[in-house]
Amino acid sequence: MSLSKIEKVLSQELSGLKEKGSLKGEETVITGVKQPQGDKGPRYFIQGYGDKEFLKMNSNSYLGMGLRKEVIEAEEEATKEFGAGPGAVRFISGTYKPHVELERRLARFHNKEAGMIFSSAYATVMGILSPLISKDTIVISDALNHNSIINAIRLSRPKDKKIYGHNNMDELESAIKESLGNCQRAIIVTDGIFSMRGDHASLSEIADLAEKYDPEFEEGILTIVDDSHGVGAIGETGRGVTEFTHEDRIDILVSTMGKALGINGGYLVSDAKVIEYLRETAPFYIYSNPITVSEASAALKTLEILDSDTGRKLLKYLRETTAYFRKGLVDLEYEVIKGEHPVVPLMVRDTKKTIALVKYLKDKGILSTGLYYPVVPKGDEEIRFQICADHTKYDVDYVLEVLKEYKA
Ligand SMILES: Cc1ncc(COP(=O)(O)O)c(C=O)c1O
C-alpha cells in the first residue's frame, strides 16, 4: 500500500517542527573512541570528519565510568557468564542474580528499604506514575520538570494536575491548599537537578510542605524526585541532591544508570511496600525486558567504585574542575548560571549567536549543546557545557582558550 497520503501529513508535521525550531535534525554519529593519552582526556571520531578528534563537552557521563577498564571488564565477564540479553521480562524468566543484587545495592546506596530497576529512567517515571496516580489523586509538578514526568502525568489522567513556577514554593503551597478536600492523595513530583540549568529543587522546603499538609489528605502526600542528573554528579559521596541539600525525607527517588553511572537503565528506591506494589502494577516493568545482565553487572561495578576512595576522588576532581571552568568563563566575562553542578550553562540569550558559537566550537573540535526556544524560554538561549571527571586540565584550558579567541 502506498504511504503517500500519510507521508504528506508527516512531512507537514516535520516542517512545523523545523519552523518552531525544535527539529533535532541529523545526529552526530560517533565512529570511534580514543582513550585518554598524555595530558588529554578521551577523544571521539565522528562520521564525516575523517580522523579529526573531538572533545565531548556535552556528555552526561559525569564520572567517565563508561570508559573505565574495571567497568568494561565487569560487563564482558557477565556477558560471557550469562549471555548477551535477558531473553524475557522479569516475571517470566528474565530475572538474573545481578539484577537482584543491583536493586539491593541501589537501595543500600540511597539508604532506602528497596530498589527496582527499569530499562531507563524515562521508563521508570512513565512506569511508576500511572500506578501511583489513582482517580482521586492530584499531581503537583514543577514547571521545568523533565519531559518524562510531563508525559507520565498526561498518560495517567489524574483527578487534577497543577504546575507551580520553577522552584516557586509559594505557588507549590497554594496548589496544595487549593486541593484540600478535593482528593484523597497528592503527589508532588520534581526533577532533582534541572538539566537545562544545572540548578536543583528545594527539597527541604518541598518536604516541609509535604509534612505540613500530609494529615489533610486521606491517603497522604507522596514526594517523588527524579534525580537523574544529580546521582553521581553532586553531593560529597555522589548521592545526589538529597545529599547536597541534606534532605532524606523524599518518599521515592528515581534516577538513571545512564548518566554519571556510565551504563544504562533507570531505577527507583523507596519503602519495601511501595516497591512490592510497583512490581505488580508498573507496565513498563512487567511487560518490558530489563537491562541486560552485563549492564547490571557493570552498574554494580560502577556503584562499587563510586562508593570507594576512588569515587570520592573522582567527585572531588569533578567539583574542582567544574569550579575551575566556571571561573574561567566568568573571567572571560561570559554569563553563566551560578551553581556547583557539572552542567555549566553559558547564557548567550540569542538563537543565532548560540548556533554560531556551537558551530565555531565544533570547527575547533569541541562538542557542545545549543539550547534554544522552545526547549528553553525565549531570551534564555544557552550553550550547555557538561564537565566530566575524565576531562583533563589541558582539555578545560583548551575550551577556555577557544572561547577567548571567539570573543577577540
Ligand atoms: C530528569 C530526567 N529524567 C529522565 C531522563 C532520561 O534518562 P534515561 O536516558 O535513563 O531514560 C533524563 C535524561 O535526560 C532526565 O534528565
Give the Cβ contact number of residue 12 at 10 Å.
10
Pick the CATH number of 69-306 from 3.40.50.620, 3.50.50.60, 3.30.450.40, 3.40.640.10: 3.40.640.10
Q: Give me 10's grid cell.
A: 508527516
pTM to 2 decimals? 0.96
406 Cα: distance to centroid of ligand 1 (angstroms): 32
Give residue 408's pLDDT band: very low, low, confident or very high (50, 70, 90).
confident
Q: In this model, does residue 376 exceed pLDDT 90?
A: no
397 Cα: distance to centroid of ligand 1 (angstroms): 29
Which residue type does 113 have? E
Query: What proportion of the chain, given as a percentage, has pLDDT over 90?
Result: 95
Does any ligand 1 atom lie closer than 6 A to the CB of residue 191? yes
Q: Looking at the CA of residue 149, tell me the nearest atom of ligand 1.
A: 3
Helix 203-213 × helix 169-179 angle, to 10°: 20
Query: What proportion of the chain, given as a percentage, has pLDDT over 70?
Result: 100
Q: In this model, does residue 255 exceed pLDDT 90?
A: yes
Best residue among 191, 224, 228, 261 to mutate for probing ligand 1's pocket (most ligand atoms within 8 Å of CB) is 228
φ, ψ of residue 334 to 5 degrees: the values are -90, 150
300-330 tens-digit pLDDT:
999 999 999 999 999 999 999 999 999 999 9
Best residue among 147, 194, 256 to mutate for probing ligand 1's pocket (most ligand atoms within 8 Å of CB) is 256
259 Cα: distance to centroid of ligand 1 (angstroms): 8
228 Cα: distance to centroid of ligand 1 (angstroms): 6
Q: In this model, does residue 39 exceed pLDDT 90?
A: yes
- State the pLDDT at residue 333: 97
- Looking at ligand 1, which residue's alpha carbon is closest to its atom 15? 228
Contacts of 349 (CB under 8 A, 6+ apart): 335, 379, 380, 381, 382
Give residue 374's pLDDT band: very low, low, confident or very high (50, 70, 90).
confident
Report the phi/psi class of residue 246: left, alpha or beta, with left for phi > 0 and alpha for psi in -120 to 50.
Answer: left
Evaluated on CA atoms 328, 199, 335, 348, the torsion sign reads positive
Beta bridge pairs of residue 139: 161, 187
Q: In this model, does residue 298 exceed pLDDT 90?
A: yes
Work out the mean pLDDT of the chain and round it to a whole number.
Answer: 96
- State the pLDDT at residue 44: 98
121 Cα: distance to centroid of ligand 1 (angstroms): 5
Average pLDDT over residues 214-231: 98
Q: How far apart are the first and last CA of the chain?
A: 58
Give residue 28's pLDDT band: very low, low, confident or very high (50, 70, 90).
very high
| Strand, coil or helix: 269 | strand
- State the pLDDT at residue 25: 87
Does any ligand 1 atom lie closer than 6 A to the CB of residue 192? no
Does any ligand 1 atom lie closer than 6 A to the CB of residue 228? yes
Distance, CA of 164 to CA of 245 (rounded, Å):
20
Distance, CA of 83 to CA of 65 (rounded, Å):
22
Best residue among 128, 146, 261, 291 to mutate for probing ligand 1's pocket (most ligand atoms within 8 Å of CB) is 146
| Strand, coil or helix: 3 | coil
Does any ligand 1 atom lie closer than 6 A to the CB of residue 227? no
- Among residues 335, 332, 330, 331, which one has the least CA distance to residue 346? 335
Give residue 72's pLDDT band: very low, low, confident or very high (50, 70, 90).
very high
145-194 tens-digit pLDDT:
999 999 999 999 999 999 999 999 999 999 999 999 999 999 999 999 99
- State the pLDDT at residue 23: 86
Report the phi/psi class of residue 115: left, alpha or beta, with left for phi > 0 and alpha for psi in -120 to 50.
Answer: beta
Q: Give, in words, the CATH class of 26-56+309-407.
A: alpha beta
Does any ligand 1 atom lie closer than 6 A to the CB of residue 240? no
Q: In which residue ranges of the chain is CATH 3.40.640.10 found?
A: 69-306
60 Cα: distance to centroid of ligand 1 (angstroms): 10
| Strand, coil or helix: 331 | helix
Give the Cβ contact number of residue 355 at 10 Å.
16
Q: In which residue ranges of the chain is CATH 3.90.1150.10 found?
A: 26-56+309-407
59-71 tens-digit pLDDT:
999 999 999 999 9
For residue 374, say if its preceding peptide bond is cis, omega within 30 degrees of 0: yes
Does any ligand 1 atom lie closer than 6 A to the CB of residue 256? yes
| Strand, coil or helix: 342 | coil
Q: Give me 308's grid cell.
A: 570507594
Average pLDDT over residues 118-133: 98
Distance, CA of 235 to CA of 319 (rounded, Å):
10
Does any ligand 1 atom lie closer than 6 A to the CB of residue 142? no
Q: Looking at the CA of residue 227, tell me the nearest atom of ligand 1.
A: 1
Q: Looking at the CA of residue 193, tell me the nearest atom of ligand 1.
A: 1
Give residue 24's pLDDT band: very low, low, confident or very high (50, 70, 90).
confident
Distance, CA of 362 to CA of 370 (rounded, Å):
11
Least-confidence region, from 16-25, 66-75, 365-374: 16-25
- Cα 241 from chain centroid (whole Å): 12
